[in-house]
Amino acid sequence: MKFNRLRFGTAGIPISTPNHNTVNGVAYVRELGLENMELEFVHSVNVKADKAPAIKQTAKKHDVVLTAHGSYYINLASPEKDKVRASMQRILSAADILNKCGGHSVTFHAGFYQKESKEIVYEKIRKAMKEIVKQAQDNGINVWIRPETTGKATQWGDLKEILQLSQDVEQVMPCVDFSHLHARSGGKENTLQEFRAQLELMEKMKGRELLNDMHIHLSGINYTAKGERNHLILEESDMNYKDLLKAWKEFKIKGVVVCESPNIEEDALLLQKEWSSLCNSKL
């Protein structure tokens, strides 16, 4: 799909959804005034194929964009071939169900450096991603495959690596978690100037194709010098989201913003309100 704006939404079914299930969650997202919901397949793909048509119909009816977060149990750089194959299958399973639900893009954490060089790990992940995309295309799975920027230096996936992979493998685009980039740096990557530099790199490496089709994660975040510890409510963290939104406006980005704070719908609405105010400002 082509985006004409940023659409804000929740990482999972909104907490306050009556009769808590996926179909009702999609409808309730729109009732809240939001426009995106991420299916959380982090422990398992918890939507069965026979339920997908109803989810697709509800999302279309309410004009809600669906994305998905794949399994936590993925390591495409594992030295164990069985673990790589299992990781690939978990990504494909999430992408398949998302596609059946009429969704747009699936994200996941791709792997770990362990004790190998960045170059070796990159090549392992690139090779696996090429095979994932081939299998997706062979099976008619038409969603973006989006490795996510990660929150710890031990995890593969800084911004440049993710962008490079999206240059090297078709049907691959980044999921940019700005909170992870902040945590990964041990507290940097949190000023207007740094946000501009991140977006400039995205534009340089992927152009308007990416800036017009962003899959963003954002939340408050707790971290140490070693990186991410856990997500926080935005106002209870040091995440400089107001300047981040200013940078988004400067670069005229479009796509989806998935809020991963513990209070998913409240912070999603906070971000949407701040964005609306910024876009309507005459300053």
What is the residue-level pLDDT of the chain in tens, covering all 283 positions? 899 999 999 999 999 999 999 999 999 999 999 999 999 999 999 999 999 999 999 999 999 999 999 999 999 999 999 999 999 999 999 999 999 999 999 999 999 999 899 999 999 999 999 999 999 999 999 999 999 999 999 999 999 999 999 999 999 999 999 999 999 999 999 999 999 999 999 999 999 999 999 999 999 999 999 999 999 999 999 999 999 999 999 999 999 999 999 999 999 999 999 999 999 975 4
Other beta carbons within 10 angstroms of residue 252's beta carbon come to 10
Task: Say what the pLDDT of residue 91 is.
Answer: 98
Rounded Cα distance between 129 and 171, Å, is 10
One of 3.30.365.10, 1.10.260.40, 3.20.20.150, 3.30.200.20 is the CATH number of 6-280, namely 3.20.20.150
Task: Say what the pLDDT of residue 282 is.
Answer: 56
Burial of 255 (0-12, 13-18, 19+ CB in 10 A): buried
Task: Say what the pLDDT of residue 283 is.
Answer: 47
Task: Match 């696996």 to its residue by tokens.
Answer: 128
Q: Which residues lie across from 112 on neighbouring strands?
A: 155
pTM of structure: 0.97
